[in-house]
Amino acid sequence: MKDVIKLYKHPRPKSCVMLASWPGIGDVSLTAAKYLVEKLNAVEIGEIEPVEFFEPIGVAVKDNVVERPRFPESKLYYWPSDKGGKSLVIFIGEEQPAFKGYELVNCVLDVAQRLKVTRVYSCAAAVTRIHHSEETKVWGVATTSELLDELSKYNVILRGNLRIAGLNGLILGMAKERGMEGMCLLGEVPSYATQIANPKASLAVLGVLTKMLGVTVDLEELDQLAKQVDEEMGRIAKKVTAEFIDQFTEPIWEHDENEDGDEEDEEL
């Protein structure tokens, strides 16, 4: 499937790492990757053609006119380090394929090895019982036990046994098969809010990742977005709680009023 890899530019970095990202719970990974691309002004250098991996199941209609079938994009971006450090390749997959995820990941890793990537990073959500108002912590896993010491330097939580669903996890296992280093940073997401985008978790992950990469990124815009989502989740929580109380609770006793409008004493 190497013919599906289309590189428009061919950078030759001396040292390079990759961040690979697909949609997942809370859009933790996708939000982080897109933010990095924007703030670093990373340049698009190629794509993986989607026809081999996706099957469109419908079309969009604009102003009553049917548009052509659209495939999910799988784009590659490049940021050259300006401080003699490690350059960065960012892969962003718009969707995860239903059946050919293994093949797509192989193509991504083919690009990584072609560009002499020494380590692959991914991000994901750590679904836990945290409340949305609490501080979001970052969990970490690595492809070798030796890399765990590096994670510990950044106050990343090592939880032992867990499972990372989807391609954001699979790519690390496949990188390990190829003898490549890999790490995944997981931002905590409340178990009751898995269907909501969680920029707060993305912010926590990027706070660690940028330090590991040695890059400076202005996180203010993402921080503001995280606060807005937190406030909205707080409003939703209050509304749901009020509706629950109205629907499932009843007064312990009825208050009767006498003719003068005074409440009658109840015998308890």
Q: Can you give the pLDDT at residue 265?
A: 43
User: Alpha helix locations (H) across 136-264?
Assistant: 148-152, 167-177, 199-213, 220-248
Cα separation, 181 vs 175, in Å, equals: 7
The residue ranges of every structural domain in the chain are: 2-55+68-230
Cα separation, 2 vs 5, in Å, equals: 6
Q: Can you give the pLDDT at residue 118?
A: 94
User: pLDDT tens-digit profile of 197-227?
Assistant: 999 999 999 999 999 999 999 999 999 999 9
Query: Taking the model in full, what pTM does it have?
Result: 0.85
Query: In this predicted model, which residue has the larger pLDDT, 34 or 83?
Result: 34
* φ, ψ for residue 122, nearest 5 deg: -140, 165
Has domain 2-55+68-230 been given CATH number 3.40.50.10900?
Answer: yes
Cα 210-122-41 angle, rounded to 5 deg: 50
Residue 239 has pLDDT above 60, yes or no: yes
User: Residue 2: which pLDDT band, with cuts at 50, 70 and 90?
Assistant: low
Say if CB 7 and CB 45 are below 8 A apart: yes
Share of the chain above pLDDT 90, in %: 68
Residue 185 has pLDDT above 80, yes or no: yes
